[in-house]
Amino acid sequence: MSEKKISVLIIYTGGTIGMIQDPETGALMPFNFDHLLDNVPELKRLGFLISSIQFEPPIDSSEIDPASWIRLVKIIADNYDTYDGFVVLHGTDTMAYTASALSFMLENLAKPVILTGSQLPIGMLRTDGKENLITAIEIAAAKENGFPVVPEVCIFFQNHLMRGNRTSKISAENFNAFRSLNYPALARVGMHIRYDNNLINKVRVPRPLKPHYLMDTNVVILKIFPGITPQTVDSILNIPHLKGVVLETYGTGNAPSKPWFLDMLRAAVARGIVIVNVTQCSSGSVQMSLYGPGNKLAQAGIISGYDSTTEAAITKLMFLFGHGLSSEEVKDRMRLPLTGEYSTQHLEDQIEA
């Protein structure tokens, strides 16, 4: 009896990777993924059963929104029992937001969901798209002792496999466009794919996939900058129906200590708005107990986002408020990692402090 072939579903949402050059006009046009094996013949050598679903029409990643995430979750949920792994082809601009959102929306995930894309269209001679696509499929199909090697939502880009909700786009031009600066890569790719199994979320007790389809967009990102005015802060914190704010602060979680600023934050917290402090820095963690300005934010009722990315913090707020939780319940859940979106060591350090 022949062994069952591993199957992978590719979901093409849009983005640069899905473009090829018209041989007659030279213009770039969307790639028809119904003919994927014809256009990327290298995939035949992988020996997997590969199917594809294409968003019609494809969506530029700057147009991605929670409705797109819900659509992705439904496709994965509807096909979950049929395929061993999933590859989501996505534009790079909002890929980290989508990866973060999916990590929360796909509860009990026990199969790989690998997002990838490219900086150059797959039809161009120097494209990074083919290598990213082929390797993402290999990772989505990888098993050890019959179990998926990477049963979580990840981004694969330019030789690095990264946890999706720890990853940010760092370059608009370079092939290594993404980095997970506060959490090591789950795998590095050279001649071989070398997984770091100690870093990967493993499924200890298998449970049925629980897809979530509710997201609340009554949230906002407020980035602190020198010279920010009371009018700016007041207009943002008093947006009608606002429920959550990701406050991007300096360094380890510092912001101005001006009385008007702290008063506005206290008033917003008193109205039930959840304000989460994340650093503007590319790497590092919020530690509000370290300096006076951060301490004052904590006293005003601001909660720490630890070493979370902005993308993970904002999508987590959407997810939690989307499920009808109270502001106090959201605060409690923001203080605990749901799917490895921040480092528990930072949490332990701050509890001790």
* Cβ-contact 343, 282 below 8 angstroms: no
* Cβ-contact 143, 110 below 8 angstroms: no
* Cβ-contact 67, 54 below 8 angstroms: no
Q: Which residue has the tokens 């319940």?
A: 329
Taking the C-alpha atoms of residue 122 and residue 44, their distance in angstroms, rounded to an integer, is 17
* Cβ-contact 317, 309 below 8 angstroms: no
Taking the C-alpha atoms of residue 261 and residue 163, their distance in angstroms, rounded to an integer, is 35
Extract the tokens encoding 347: 């949490």
Q: Which of 13, 16, 167, 315 is catalytic?
A: 16
Concerning whether 25 is annotated as a catalytic residue, the answer is no
Query: Given 3-state DSSP classes, what are the helix, strand and coil percentages for the chain, each rounded to the nearest 5?
Result: 35, 20, 45
CA angle 161, 166, 167 (to 5 degrees): 60
DSSP letter for each residue of 51-120:
EEEE-SS---GGG--HHHHHHHHHHHHHTTTT-SEEEEE--STTHHHHHHHHHHHEET--S-EEEE--SS
Extract the tokens encoding 86: 């999933």
Extract the tokens encoding 157: 């880009």
Cβ-proximal residues to 111 (8 Å cutoff; 6+ apart), any chain: 80, 83, 84, 85, 86, 148, 151
Cβ-proximal residues to 103 (8 Å cutoff; 6+ apart), any chain: 109, 152, 153, 163, 164, 165, 312, 338, 339, 341
Catalytic residue annotation: 16
